[in-house]
Structure 1
Amino acid sequence: MPLALLALAISAFGIGTTEFVMMGLLPNVAGDLGTSVPTAGYLVSAYALGVVIGAPLLTALGSRIPRKRMLVLLMGLFTIGNLASALAPTFGLLVAGRVLAGLPHGAFFGVGAVVAARLVTQGRQARAVATMFLGLTVANIVGVPTATLLGQHLGWRATFLVVAGIGLVAMAALTLLIPQLPRERHEGLGQELRALRDRQVLLGLLTAVFGFAGVFAVYSYLASMMTEVTGFSETSVTLVLALFGIGMTLGALVAGPLTDRALRPTLYGSLAALAAVLVLFDFTVHVKWAALATVVVLGAVGFMTTTPLQMLVMNKAQHAPTLASASNHSAFNLANAGGAWLGGVAIAAGWGWTSPTLVGAVLAVIGLAIAVTAGLLDRGGPGASRLVAAGSERMREAERVG
């Protein structure tokens, strides 16, 4: 694999750390800025809002910027956003800092996935994209727990200063390791927007919204489930989250080669496995060792969906994959927000702490149904296109003869 993928993985590590670390720092932020923990929870939503808005907006604005320069600029904005968060004197400015830090998230992964795919030969593209995503999974194993402990002992501002430092390191790595990639003649905002209207691209984004929402319906309440139902202490929650991160890493490692070999079957299999594991979790959550094992498997099958979904929208967008690729991360964050909301609705309705597992299973099944429908609609698509093209060619030939 090219060394340039390391620069993308380092960047993904920083992005993953700042995305998830806030969940562990909410009490510290609330106490320091004189607000409640539920109110401080808006900081999680603020970052997600930045991702949803920034992915299509920044990708569109940067459609004519060379991809290497675009990656460096996006990581620069990420660094500024985290620095602004660290220095924010009020809660309102911290919210603004979190939105700013989230803006480049989707656009970076969108552009980065296209760059990663172009750095390798045909047949290894999914593995290259999965390698970039490894930075995101390692962040959940190392970055988030370490940054949380740092924030708890030195203050939450220190956490965001360190993340800003990671951003600077990532900018240097991108500058030194990413090659200059020539622009394709057909690249441009108009072509990107037309590609985004493709039925298969839209169905792929919809699959991401529902399928990945199944993961976040449970992940958002995993800490509470482990303490309230399984019987773990609050100090053990960091270990549980790290195990989930290990599962994510395993899923990313497996998803790359499988997606290169058979994209749609990998997507179908991962979504079906996700639904099954979520149903199983409703039973294993009551036994400590079984719950921990299921957390690892849940992280693996949940993250296995990301690489085939990313490659699907890039392949279907073909000549203009950047905006579709970035929009996929907007879909993932909509899944984050929607899954967490639906899981919370189930708990608030009195269905119990384990109810998000069944909610998540239903969402995963809906995602699988959309993916299978898209696959059935896609059958004969390329063949039909070839027949139309051949027919048009014969008509032109007949006109020339006539």
Structure 2
Amino acid sequence: MEKIGELNLDTRFIGLDGFDEIEAVPGANLNSVKQSPKKAGKPRHAGYTVREHKVVRKKVALTAVVAMAAVVLSGVTAAGAIGSGGAKKPAPEMPSTMPALVSTVDEAPRASGLDAAAESQLCGLYIDGELVGVTTNKTALERALKKVLDDYKKGYDAQTTTEFANDVEVKELEESDKKELTAEDLVKLGMDRFSINLATDYIYKDEVDFETEVTYDDSKPASYKKVVKEGKKGVTEWTVRYTFTDGEITDSEITGSKVTQELVNEEIVVGTGYEESEENADEENSAGESGGSAESYATGSSGSFIWPLPHTHNLTSLFEWRWGRMHNGIDIAGGDDYGQPIIASDSGEVIWSGNDGGGYGNYVMIDHGNGYVTVYGHASELACSTGDYVNQGDVIAYVGSTGNSTGPHLHFEIRDGDTPLDPLGFVS
């Protein structure tokens, strides 16, 4: 699991017994992170390299960034899966021809004084230390170079910046044996040698699921469930500044974060008492509590089994060959299952209540004294102890997702000695 400060990125799958699977449960808390953006350093070049500034190349490079499965945000390195909030256009194609520069009256240089002198000054365009050509209009050359950078960031927001990644200089010269060119022609001559950095911001929206906090109330019947506080997802927006060099990502850093919605956990109350009429409530309370002594175990095994999860009769897995091995029971889940009471399918002695570190997680085994044993797996909490005697219908545990599980459910088995049987042959 990648972690950014307190940012967890993970995936949840719900509703199946997951032998040989792992469940990832989100629990992220997002803290504000603020770092100052830094300017990307210029890479060194041995001489110059002819670079093709083609829009196809940029689209491929930026699409590779967008297609990654996770965001790894460190001080200067990123390999990001850019979400719906972070998509941007690729860097525009470098123009193959340099359009003539057009000046307004205000922009037109005056034909006297310093401006006139600058226009008549012989200067050279150097790229990575090599003289590309010369011109006598230094001002026009500098404007033409600026236009290359401005055109490169068209379609981006005002905070996007560009700069030459390689060494591009305009130097005044006393003389030169090279043919004098116009500023436009000189820039066109050096066009395929320019390397350009583009820095722009992406915004990622990260959501964290709320957790459910369960309070059990034995004064309420098992069918009782009430939400006392609604849960809300936590939402944080992260701003990351990426630098692309000739369309390929070369640098990134977190420049800010903002919590747009605070995380609020859900709180519910679940009843664990019995469904009973007023006239026999006292009698059933005294005889029906789980975890009793041998004396309270008055009824003995009934020889028949009842459904172990009153909350739902929905099945998510059957007694069958599955995932290369035999699934020795049935999985019961119907939604909102976490914390729901699990009851003894028949009366008997609890021969195991605990967690042995295996795939069942927290589980209970009951010996019914007639050769049959029942198993109740993946519980969140156990309501009986090894050695207890329980009656049919007693609450023995609560639904959870411990052990090898992909979500809250009950794994239920019926065995004849050590031989697993299909529970649907006994309960429906």
**Higher RCO structure (Cα 8 Å, ≥6 apart):** 1
Q: Which one has a larger percent strand, Structure 1 or Structure 2?
A: 2
Q: Which one has a larger percent helix, Structure 1 or Structure 2?
A: 1
**Largest Rg, 1 or 2:** 2
Into which bin does the TM-score normalised by the smaller protein fall?
Answer: under 0.3
TM-score normalised by L of structure 2: 0.18
